[in-house]
Chains A and B, each alone.
Chain A
C-alpha cells in the first residue's frame, strides 16, 4: 500500500515543469540510443581512418572491434569469421545485435513514438527519415566500399537531431533527461573508442609499434572529431599521453569524458532528489582525475583495465538515475509487489 508519507509528499506541480517517470525514462533512452548510433559509427571510423594512413602491408584487426562491443559470443554464433565484411554487417546492420546501428535507431524511433506528445514534430521526422534511410542502405548491404558514406550519413543525421533539439525544445525536464542520456552514453562510448587503442589493433611487438603509434592516436582523435580541437588546446604534436589526457580530462572538448560528466552534473542539479546521482558523478570524476595518464598511454593492458573500471562507474551512475527518477518513490515498489 502506498504510505501516507508518500501522499504527503505529493505536491501538485505545474504540469509544464514536471514529467511522468515513464516518459522521462523513454526520453533518457531515446537520447542514449541516438548517441549510441552516432558513436558506434565513430567507433568504426577509427579503423576507417587508420586504413587510409597505414602502409598496405599492415594487418588491421577487425576482430578487436567485436571484442570492444563485449558481444563476441553472439558474433561468433552468427558469423563464421571476424573478417571486415562480417564485422561491418554485425555492427551496422544486424538486428539480432541490440547495439548495432540499425537496432539503436530502431529503438530510438520506438521510444519517440511513445513521446510524440511532448517532442517537437521535426525531431520525429528527422529520426524517422534517418531510420528509413539507414534501413534502405542496410537492405542493399553495407559493403566496405560504401562504408564511409554510410558512417558519415549516420553521424551527420544524429548531429542534425541534436541540433533540432537544441533549437526547438524548451528548457524543461524533457531536455534535462535528454541531456542525461546523451552525456552518459557519450562518456561511455568515448571510453570504448579510446579502448580501440588498447585493444591491439596493431601488432604489439615493440619494434613495429612505434612508427604507427601516433597514427593510431590521430585516428582516435579524428573519429571523435577532435583532431582540430586537440591542436588548438594542446599545441603540440600528437603524443599518446597528451591525447589520452585530452579525451579523458579536458573540460572544454564536448566529447571528452570530463566534459560530458560536467554537463551531466549540470543537468542533474536542476532535478530534485539528485544527491545519490551527483555522488556517483563525483566518483567518476575522481577516478578520471586520479588516472595515471603516462602509464595508461604506454601500457595497453593498464588502459584497458582503466576503461573497464570507469565503465563500472557509469553503470552505477545509470542505476542511481534509474532508481531515483524512473522507479517512483520507494513505497511504490512495495505497492507493486502486492
Chain B
C-alpha cells in the first residue's frame, strides 16, 4: 500500500462521492481527504488493520450457509467513509418521509376501500396479479394505520449527480445493525475526525425503533412486552436480529417460543411460565408467519398468530401484507401514488420505468431495447433480465418477441451509471461503485436514519454490492459543510 495522492485518483467518468470532476475533494470531503493524504503508507495500513481487528473483536459477522455448514464471516468493511452534505441529506430525508407516508396510505387503502383503484389511478388487474397481496389482511386495522413500520429504501446516484430511489423494501429490510457498527468501527479507527462535531451521529436508531414499537402496543401502559421474532441462527441476518435485541433489551424469540392461547393472545414460554407478548418485530417472511393461515409446513412462525393480530391483541411490525407495495410494478406508480394521496409532487425521483402493459410504454421499450434494462415485472412471470447495451442483437430480438407475447410480465428502465467512492484496496485508493440504504421508521411520527448503510462493490467495475457476492460496506457521514471554516490546520495536526 502506498501513500495517497488524490491527484492520481481516477473516478473514470462516473460521479464520485468524494472527489469532484476537477480532481479536487468536494467541500464536505476536504477534511477527510487531507487527513488520509497525511498518513504515510505504514499508518494507512495500520488504520486498515485496526478496523479489521475491531470487527473481529466486536464479532461483527454475517452468515453464509453453504453445503450444510454455517460460516460466520467477518463483515467486509472499507475504512474510507462515504460523505453526503447535510443540506442534501435534509432534502433526501424529506423525500423519503413523503414517499413512505404515501406508500403506507396506499397499502392501507388496498386492504380497505381501494379508492385508488376506484378512482382509476391504479389498475385493478395489477392487484389481482400481485404475489404479495394477502387477502387474509383485508379489513385489518393497524396501529396508526401504518403497515410498513420499518422501510429500507435503496438509493443510487446517477452520473448527473442526482439521487434516485431504486427500490423500497417494505417487508423485512436488513442492514441497519451494520450501519451502526460501521460507525463504531470508524470511531475506533479515526477518532480525531469526530472531534469537531460536524459528523452527524447515527446512534439514535435503536431507541427510536424501541419507541416506535412500544407505541404500537395494544395494551395501555408504559412497559409493553416487545420481542424480535427471528427465523433462527441459520438466517443470514441472524447477527442483526441478536444485535437489535441486545441494543433494545428485548427478547429474541423463535417461532417455537411463542404460543397463542384460547384468548387469542400471544405468549412466550419463559422459565417462570407464560408471559404475554404485545409487540412482535418479526424478521420472518409473511408466508412463514402462521401455519394456520399461510404455509402449513412452516416451523418458523406460530400457529394462531394471525388470529391474535386480527383481533388486535398483538401488534406486528411490519404488518403482514405490507410487501404488496414493494414490487416493481407498484414502484413505477409511486409518483402517482404520492400525487394521489398527498397531492404533492415526489421530492425524490424514481428511475424512469416503462410498464410494457401500456401501449405507449411498450412502443418506447421496443424502440430502445439497446439502451434499456428489461426486467420481469412481477415475481410470478417473466423470463429473466436483459441488460440491453450488453447483449447481442439476437438476444434483443428474442426479448422483443417475449414482450409482445406477454407485455404484462415486463417492464424496462434506463441503465444507470452508479456513482463511485474512493475505496482502500490492497495497493492503494481506487474508485468503487456504491449505493445507499437509509431506513425509515413510521409510527406516530416518522424517523429517518442519518444517512444509512452505504454498500460498496469491492470488485473493480462491479455493480454488485451484496455482501454474499463480494460486496462490502462503508460508514456514511452526513457532514455539516457550513461549519467547516478553519479546518485545514486541524486536519494537519490530526494526521501527525
A residues contacting B by CB (< 8 A) are: 1-4, 6-7, 9-13, 15, 17-22, 24, 110, 113-114, 116-118, 121, 124-125, 128, 173, 177, 271-272, 325, 328-329, 332, 335
Contact = CB atoms under 8 A, between A and B. Distances in A.
A10 B276 contact: yes
Given A22-B256, A121-B58, A121-B59, A329 B246 contact: no
B195 interface: no
Given A2-B261, A332-B269, A22 B274 contact: no
B262 A4 contact: yes
Nearest to A10: B274
Contact of B233 (A9, A113, A124): A113
Nearest to A118: B246
A108 B416 CA distance: 48
Interface of B: 57-59, 72, 225, 232-233, 238, 242-243, 245-246, 249-254, 256-257, 259-263, 265, 267-276
A122 to B, nearest CB: 10
Given A7-B262, A19-B270, 15 more contacts: A4-B261, A7-B265, A13-B275, A20-B251, A20-B269, A20-B270, A20-B271, A21-B257, A116-B246, A117-B245, A125-B59, A271-B271, A272-B272, A328-B269, A329-B269
B254 A22 contact: yes
A15 B250 contact: yes
B461 to A, nearest CB: 35
B249 to A, nearest CB: 7
Contacts of A325: 271
A110 B262 CA distance: 35
A19 B242 CA distance: 15
B238 to A, nearest CB: 8
Given A6-B274, A13-B272, A117-B246, A335 B58 contact: no
Contact of A6 (B58, B245, B261): B261
* Among A10, A18, A114, A124: residue with most chain B CB under 10 A: A10
Pairs of residues from A and B, 10 with the lowest C-beta to C-beta distance, nearest first: A10-B274, A328-B269, A2-B261, A117-B242, A117-B246, A18-B272, A117-B245, A21-B269, A18-B270, A7-B261
A110 B69 CA distance: 12
Nearest to B249: A15
A12 B269 contact: no
Nearest to B57: A125
B276 A12 contact: yes
Contacts of B268: 20
Nearest to B226: A15
Contacts of A118: 246
B259 A335 contact: yes
Contacts of B257: 20-22
Contacts of B252: 117
Nearest to B58: A121
Contacts of A22: 254, 256-257, 269
* Among A12, A18, A20: residue with most chain B CB under 10 A: A20
B271 to A, nearest CB: 5
